[in-house]
A and B are shown apart, each in its own frame.
Chain A
């Protein structure tokens, strides 16, 4: 019987390209699978280049926002239009829905369509949103412990939407006519230029854009040692930024031909154009993923609130430069007053790296103010980044590797091939007593949670007694979470616990109380396990040795 899967991926172009590994993994899992995709109609051209999709189901969600917000149409008209679009999806009876759009509307849409197996955000049985599947839940946890994350979203999507499997590079089937167009375009632009590189100086958010003048200077510097053309890409709204790049390029003595293609291509033409280039110098943007999928090496300038660990170029052959700054990457909710990270990346260093990729210089081994990473594949066949120049915080690095293995084994239920961290944590002297002090607090929380569950399940209990216990539990929980969040040895578990606690898609007070008690138990057991593993604890022997998928899933799925 043909299995049917629906992927909901609405908001961003880059996210579409990033689900390439998921598509491959689904075909491994169910060779006869028919995969449909719900996408914003603006990005349907990108979706049409993805291989293995049965239907690309576009909807103009931006128009829906404008029309509903400004009251262009009344509630009945809006409802009927949306229902006419969504009803056939419900009637297809998908076996699995994978929601890669982590927002409330998509959760409601997924709830409306329905499927026996839902991965990602969906509506709860009443009003809330819940995240199904541990990998998808991890996606929502990342932002609280970003610096400890070592999973690329491409892998999170593939592992969550399907499961472990062989490495699958990102890929786009670029139409022949688009490729022909790109070749003609470059030939017409500068017949003498036999090689081209591309640069994307703009970004959807100014926060994540390196300065245009730095782009111009780096490209001018490159022109002293490499002869070829530069094609500037971007959206029509980035014309001003591109003009600044060209101005800086000329002012710095740039000699190579330069061509502005921003806003002059369709998305397939853009992918084809990138495919014709020797490399792409870019901020962390959608076109970066297009270039990766087109097989073009990328230099990702990872500034502002973007973190290349999450959204950087996937698979081997790409490079990332990240500013070395305490606040980098900053939080999504931050409004930065200094943008200092953008000046930490020096244009001569970028020029040297471009030369290296173009084969005319060695790889730079020293860099001031930033770090250089090369992308690759790790022992678990997941994307990774290896430090090539600069230095990382040893403690952060140690714990990031540790949690990378821990979560992989916990969520996938299989041992990781990534070598374990060779030594004890750099902060072992403080971390061990910290965890030891936390455990009694967790024991107390578990006892109270069990008591609440017992009372909630029993006959007519005094509401006041229950409320008093819940108040006490909440107070104690907040205090314990605060303590746990202070050290990397416990913070990820606290984040995971909070999300699990609130993913309470169960009906009835007694079930809710049992769900909460289970979340507390899991938090305590995992913390105890970490203590044992890292510090050889003499914790009681009756605690489970290792949480398994079986133990974890009910908490997530309720």
Chain B
């Protein structure tokens, strides 16, 4: 029996446009198969969408788990349509008055669902969003309440790409409306390329108005190196590993003394899995921005389950690998630039002389660079190579600057500015161009932020970040000399491209932008924590409105500016600030009690 007409009649009363759209959809995406208990179940491309035994029972179990996460006042958003058993279960079990929205990327599936079984009153009580992912994101972003996403994975996997686009669009929208002040602990590495990234991230968060605790481990570099001085590699590894353990415990001690809303570790941060698991058990939120090539540095495999959120600079393969290794949330977050550091400079003639060249390359001497760069030398242009780890690279000895010394950030910016054509060749361990050319390195963004012209090797993820008119790419090593020749002759063209790239960086690729997106991603998954702070729900005004049942508490809250974030410690400090000699109210005792528990740290350290 086909129930479509009957179900659409009901739907037409509440959402006529949707009823019409469903009617017009072709349907037939799902294969309907009776379950063992008799109700309809469904398959798609051979995989079950609902239980083959008892779809209703399975849906109830799913819904029960979600209900535990769903806080009062949040709008529930279901990803994954299928035959809607899970939506029905959630709709019938939810708190009275709670709003439930279903995302419908493909109306054909909703048509299949509406055809196979009669739906109840719940069908007209839920809200539906449909259309393009971006349009759906816009509708969701317009909601006045926090969103709590519930993914019914067997059905959601049919529309993974649409959900990703929706999530990205929603994140952009949410990131543009962030207001509250978070406390973020940024955990940096001991040394390495991710160390400046950690600084940029910390600076960006501060610029966004958040409080940042910077756990800078670079001061431990000398000790770490000293432990690396043993002859036997086992001794070296053991001592460096133990040293990392100590730093990890040190980080926890720091976090215990000033607990943040979010612990943001940058690649190579010395946080061990044991410490991460301990933090997780103690309800700390942790995130890792893995600004590494996951194919080369594989320690993520051991840490995948340790962090709550992973941010990576590579796409699908990387995200899937992390998910397989146990990561719960993985999000693509490309590199960026800090325009306060990498910017156009006016150089003195002496600086221009020292740092300038027709063609320059700045970076470490990886195998492919040692092989390719000598091929791009020519008597037709001057060429300078800057950076370390070039020992034994005979073909470049005549152009290697400062005997292969490490180049600091300020000098880098001067070189970028002084050079006509900056070569940007992503590193890899083979002889040629990176065979897995996907992520875009920081240098791409830094050169662009300097307003410097660059030739960069093609990357799969580059077109999403820069257009052809913003970035000149080469696909084969052989193209480079002719590109150099062409662009050397066209300073105006170089300037046009470089300025366009800089504008793009300033608009889309700053660390501030990245941090906003990172926080928006976490906030969407933690609507009652990070999300609440970002929305300003933890500001004094909003809290005082909610505390109207407790006059002492609401009175205390109203002593703060309405737009100031207020937590227990602030309330307790306000009470204590009155000084000894002022009697305490009963509610104040409870606040001080709560704050005493909040300040406990013995179980952490």
Residues of A within 8 A of B (CB): 61-62, 64-76, 78-80, 82-83, 86, 90, 103-105, 108-109, 111-112, 123, 125-128, 507
Q: How far is the CA of A125 from the CA of B581 in the complex (A)?
A: 8
Residues of chain B within 8 A (CB-CB) of A123 are 584, 589, 592
Flag whether B600 is at the interface (Cβ < 8 A).
Answer: yes
Residues of chain A within 8 A (CB-CB) of B222 are none
Contact with A along B515-536 (1 / 0, CB 8 A): 0000000000000110011000
Q: How far is the CA of A72 from the CA of B547 in the complex (A)?
A: 18
Flag whether B438 is at the interface (Cβ < 8 A).
Answer: no
Please state if A71 and B529 are interface contacts (CB–CB under 8 Å). Answer: yes
Count chain B residues whose beta carbon lies closer than 8 angstroms to a beta carbon of A.
47
Known contacts A74-B543, A79-B587: A66-B282 contact under CB 8 Å? yes
Please state if B590 and A75 are interface contacts (CB–CB under 8 Å). Answer: no
Please state if B590 and A71 are interface contacts (CB–CB under 8 Å). Answer: no
Residues of chain B within 8 A (CB-CB) of A64 are 594, 597
Cβ 8 A contact of A83, one of B283, B529, B570, B587: B587
Q: How far is the CA of A61 from the CA of B591 in the complex (A)?
A: 15
Please state if B584 and A75 are interface contacts (CB–CB under 8 Å). Answer: no
Cβ 8 A contact of A79, one of B529, B590, B600, B603: B590
Closest to B182 in A: A71
Please state if B597 and A105 are interface contacts (CB–CB under 8 Å). Answer: yes
Chain B residues numbered 563-605 whose CB sits less than 8 Å from any CB in chain A: 566-568, 570-571, 576, 580-584, 586-587, 589-601, 603-604
Please state if A72 and B283 are interface contacts (CB–CB under 8 Å). Answer: yes
Closest to A67 in B: B283
Cβ 8 A contact of B584, one of A70, A73, A125: A125
Whole-angstrom distance from the CB of B330 to the nearest CB of chain A?
22
Whole-angstrom distance from the CB of B123 to the nearest CB of chain A?
33
Flag whether B277 is at the interface (Cβ < 8 A).
Answer: no
Cβ 8 A contact of B596, one of A74, A108, A126: A108
Closest to A105 in B: B596
Known contacts A71-B259, A82-B594, A127-B576: A76-B600 contact under CB 8 Å? no
Residues of chain A within 8 A (CB-CB) of B529 are 71-72
Known contacts A65-B600, A69-B600, A71-B567: A79-B584 contact under CB 8 Å? no
Q: How far is the CA of A8 from the CA of B581 in the complex (A)?
A: 27
Residues of chain B within 8 A (CB-CB) of A128 are 580
Please state if B598 and A65 are interface contacts (CB–CB under 8 Å). Answer: yes
Known contacts A66-B282, A71-B529, A83-B587: A76-B259 contact under CB 8 Å? no
Flag whether B134 is at the interface (Cβ < 8 A).
Answer: no
Please state if B590 and A112 are interface contacts (CB–CB under 8 Å). Answer: yes
Q: How far is the CA of A471 from the CA of B538 in the complex (A)?
A: 45
Flag whether B266 is at the interface (Cβ < 8 A).
Answer: no
Q: How far is the CA of A104 from the CA of B567 in the complex (A)?
A: 20
Residues of chain A within 8 A (CB-CB) of B600 are 65, 69
Flag whether B112 is at the interface (Cβ < 8 A).
Answer: no
Flag whether B216 is at the interface (Cβ < 8 A).
Answer: no
Please state if A126 and B583 are interface contacts (CB–CB under 8 Å). Answer: yes
Cβ 8 A contact of A75, one of B285, B549, B568, B603: B568
Please state if B583 and A76 are interface contacts (CB–CB under 8 Å). Answer: no
Cβ 8 A contact of A74, one of B537, B581, B592, B599: B537
Residues of chain B within 8 A (CB-CB) of A104 are 596
Whole-angstrom distance from the CB of B579 to the nearest CB of chain A?
8
Residues of chain A within 8 A (CB-CB) of B593 are 82, 105, 108-109, 112
Whole-angstrom distance from the CB of B309 to the nearest CB of chain A?
15
Given contacts A79-B594, A112-B593, 5 further A-B contacts (CB under 8 A): A65-B597, A75-B591, A105-B593, A108-B593, A126-B580
Whole-angstrom distance from the CB of A10 to the nearest CB of chain B?
11
Residues of B within 8 A of A (CB): 259, 261, 282-285, 528-529, 532-533, 537-538, 543, 546-547, 549-550, 553, 557, 566-568, 570-571, 576, 580-584, 586-587, 589-601, 603-604
Please state if B259 and A69 are interface contacts (CB–CB under 8 Å). Answer: yes
Closest to B284 in A: A70
6 A-B pairs in the complex with CB atoms less than 8 angstroms apart:
A61-B597, A65-B603, A69-B282, A70-B259, A75-B568, A79-B587
Whole-angstrom distance from the CB of B489 to the nearest CB of chain A?
59
Closest to B598 in A: A68
Q: How far is the CA of A61 from the CA of B586 in the complex (A)?
A: 20
Q: How far is the CA of A308 from the CA of B571 in the complex (A)?
A: 42
Please state if B591 and A79 are interface contacts (CB–CB under 8 Å). Answer: yes
Q: How far is the CA of A112 from the CA of B603 in the complex (A)?
A: 26
Please state if A127 and B584 are interface contacts (CB–CB under 8 Å). Answer: yes
Closest to A66 in B: B283
Q: How far is the CA of A84 from the CA of B591 in the complex (A)?
A: 13
Most chain B CB within a 10 A radius of its CB, from A69, A78, A105, A112: A69
Known contacts A67-B283, A70-B283, A127-B576: A75-B543 contact under CB 8 Å? yes
Please state if A127 and B597 are interface contacts (CB–CB under 8 Å). Answer: no
Q: How far is the CA of A128 from the CA of B581 in the complex (A)?
A: 10
Residues of chain B within 8 A (CB-CB) of A61 are 597
Residues of chain A within 8 A (CB-CB) of B576 are 127
Please state if B589 and A108 are interface contacts (CB–CB under 8 Å). Answer: yes
Whole-angstrom distance from the CB of B264 to the nearest CB of chain A?
15
Please state if A75 and B567 are interface contacts (CB–CB under 8 Å). Answer: yes
Residues of chain A within 8 A (CB-CB) of B596 are 103-105, 108
Q: How far is the CA of A33 from the CA of B194 in the complex (A)?
A: 66
Please state if B282 and A70 are interface contacts (CB–CB under 8 Å). Answer: yes
Please state if A80 and B589 are interface contacts (CB–CB under 8 Å). Answer: no
The 3 tightest CB contacts between A and B, nearest first, are A108-B593, A68-B598, A70-B283
Q: How far is the CA of A411 from the CA of B125 in the complex (A)?
A: 70
Please state if B568 and A78 are interface contacts (CB–CB under 8 Å). Answer: yes
Q: How far is the CA of A83 from the CA of B550 in the complex (A)?
A: 10
Whole-angstrom distance from the CB of B557 to the nearest CB of chain A?
8
Known contacts A70-B285, A112-B593: A126-B546 contact under CB 8 Å? no
Please state if A79 and B547 are interface contacts (CB–CB under 8 Å). Answer: yes
Q: How far is the CA of A501 from the CA of B86 in the complex (A)?
A: 66
Closest to B582 in A: A126
Closest to B566 in A: A75
Q: How far is the CA of A472 from the CA of B586 in the complex (A)?
A: 37
Whole-angstrom distance from the CB of B598 to the nearest CB of chain A?
4
Residues of chain A within 8 A (CB-CB) of B538 are 74-75
Residues of chain A within 8 A (CB-CB) of B533 are 71
Closest to A61 in B: B597
Residues of chain A within 8 A (CB-CB) of B581 are 126
Q: How far is the CA of A112 from the CA of B592 in the complex (A)?
A: 11
Residues of chain B within 8 A (CB-CB) of A105 are 593, 596-597
Whole-angstrom distance from the CB of A121 to the nearest CB of chain B?
12
Residues of chain A within 8 A (CB-CB) of B595 are 68
Whole-angstrom distance from the CB of A255 to the nearest CB of chain B?
37
Whole-angstrom distance from the CB of B500 to the nearest CB of chain A?
43
Q: How far is the CA of A123 from the CA of B570 in the complex (A)?
A: 20
Q: How far is the CA of A83 from the CA of B537 in the complex (A)?
A: 21
Please state if B283 and A126 are interface contacts (CB–CB under 8 Å). Answer: no
Please state if A68 and B597 are interface contacts (CB–CB under 8 Å). Answer: yes
Cβ 8 A contact of B589, one of A71, A73, A112: A112
Q: How far is the CA of A112 from the CA of B261 in the complex (A)?
A: 29
Closest to B568 in A: A75
Known contacts A65-B597, A108-B592, A112-B593: A79-B553 contact under CB 8 Å? yes
Please state if B594 and A68 are interface contacts (CB–CB under 8 Å). Answer: yes
Whole-angstrom distance from the CB of A74 to the nearest CB of chain B?
5
